[in-house]
Structure 1
Amino acid sequence: MNFRAILVLLLGINLTACVTFPTEESAQVKILWENSVAIENCTYKGTVIGSQGHFYDYWLHSDRDMVWGTLNELRIKGHALGADTVYLYQPLKFLGSVTMMGNAYQCAETQASEDKASETLDSTSLPSQMNSVSSQ
């Protein structure tokens, strides 16, 4: 094989792109869009950016695969920040790629501690309310 054929082969291999696959941990991270009520009691962890595709290789992958890879990248980065939820911004429009930004939040611990606090409050305040009702 001559040098030119090897060079073309190597360039072809370098131009092929990969799509990001989820990890076991990142599969637990939820992606939310236009549901700000769901993050009201969550703790902000940071901003994450996910992007798949390039101007030179976008034609090798379907839009669906690039969106899927972008969402997986957001989940992975959100998990790295200690988040369990990513709330997406409006997607950015690029020719030949998919790029999304979002804020990463930890919601499960916040929700669990609020549930526990309200449960404790309910269990301590209920008997006194019952006593006041029964004494009337």
Structure 2
Amino acid sequence: MQVRTNNVPLIQNCQWVGEVIGSEGHWYSYLFYNNDVLVRGAINDIKNKAHQIDANTVVLLSPHYFKTSATLVGTAYHCPSH
């Protein structure tokens, strides 16, 4: 599974599968977790959701960071293996 922040020329031969959202954290999370832990959790969540729709590549759109959580929005693609 690849998670990228840019899409050229990565997705030229790929099939669009859908949109995916990954998030981690709750209103109390900042008491226990650093932002890097929240972002890593959001990345794992978006990878899991992409896998569920048979995508192997995600191109991230602008991330949304909050003090208590992290949310990632991306477009999912199924790309040929190299």
TM-score w.r.t. the length of structure 2 is: 0.89
Letter in 2 for 1:85: T
- Identity across matched positions, percent: 37
Q: What corresponds to 2:60 in structure 1?
A: 88
1:66-104 Cα deviation digits (max 9, x unpaired): 111111111100010001101100112323110000011
Letter in 1 for 2:67: L
Unaligned runs of 5+ in 2: none
CA distance in structure 1 between the aligned counterparts of 2:63 and 2:39, rounded to whole angstroms:
10
Higher relative contact order (CA 8 A, sep 6+): 2
Letter in 2 for 1:107: C
CA distance in structure 2 between the aligned counterparts of 1:57 and 1:93, rounded to whole angstroms:
13
CA distance in structure 2 between the aligned counterparts of 1:41 and 1:87, rounded to whole angstroms:
14
Question: Could you say which structure has the higher helix fraction?
Answer: 1
How much has 1:62 moved relative to structure 2?
Answer: 1.3
Residue 7 of structure 2 is aligned with which of 30, 35, 38? Answer: 35
Structure 1 stretches of 4+ moved >3 Å? none
CA distance in structure 1 between the aligned counterparts of 2:35 and 2:71, rounded to whole angstroms:
11
Q: What corresponds to 2:44 in structure 1?
A: 72
CA distance in structure 2 between the aligned counterparts of 1:36 and 1:99, rounded to whole angstroms:
23
Letter in 2 for 1:58: Y
Letter in 1 for 2:8: S
How much has 1:56 moved relative to structure 2?
Answer: 2.0
Unaligned runs of 5+ in 1: 1-28, 113-136
Residue 49 of structure 1 is aligned with which of 7, 10, 21? Answer: 21
- Contact in 1 for aligned 2:13/2:80 (Cα 8 Å): no
CA distance in structure 2 between the aligned counterparts of 1:59 and 1:101, rounded to whole angstroms:
25
Count of equivalent residues: 82
How much has 1:42 moved relative to structure 2?
Answer: 0.6
CA distance in structure 1 between the aligned counterparts of 2:65 and 2:6, rounded to whole angstroms:
18
